Amino acid sequence: MKRVVMLCAILGMSGPVLADQALATQSGCMGCHKADAKLIGPAFKDIAAKYKGDAAAVDTLTAKVKAGSKPGEPLNWGTMMMPPSPAPEDDVRTVVRWILTH
């Protein structure tokens, strides 16, 4: 019985995390980003570190993901431009919150 309760607790805690990772995959984020290593774009852990303690980070990054990079503007993470996300803003905001937990 204790094992069943423990398993339910673990699954209950990981549910939102797995759902947010699935949303990131579904939204196309994982095509350019990884959690722990640079791919085409920066690692989520590096993004989280850069914005740690920034109260405006969720709003700033949500707007950035929705808009993408624009030609001629300074790039924050190297030489690759980020395309604008077609995902709904609420989904982007959910993924950004998840990224900031890394």
Question: pLDDT tens digits for 8-63?
Answer: 333 444 455 677 899 999 999 999 999 999 999 999 999 999 999 999 999 999 99
Tell me which CATH homologous superfamily contains domain 35-102: Cytochrome c-like domain (1.10.760.10)
* 83-97: average pLDDT: 95
Cβ atoms 57, 99 nearer than 8 A:
no
Q: How far apart are the first and last CA of the chain?
A: 33
Could you tell me the residue ranges of all domains in the chain?
Answer: 35-102
> What is the reported pTM?
0.79
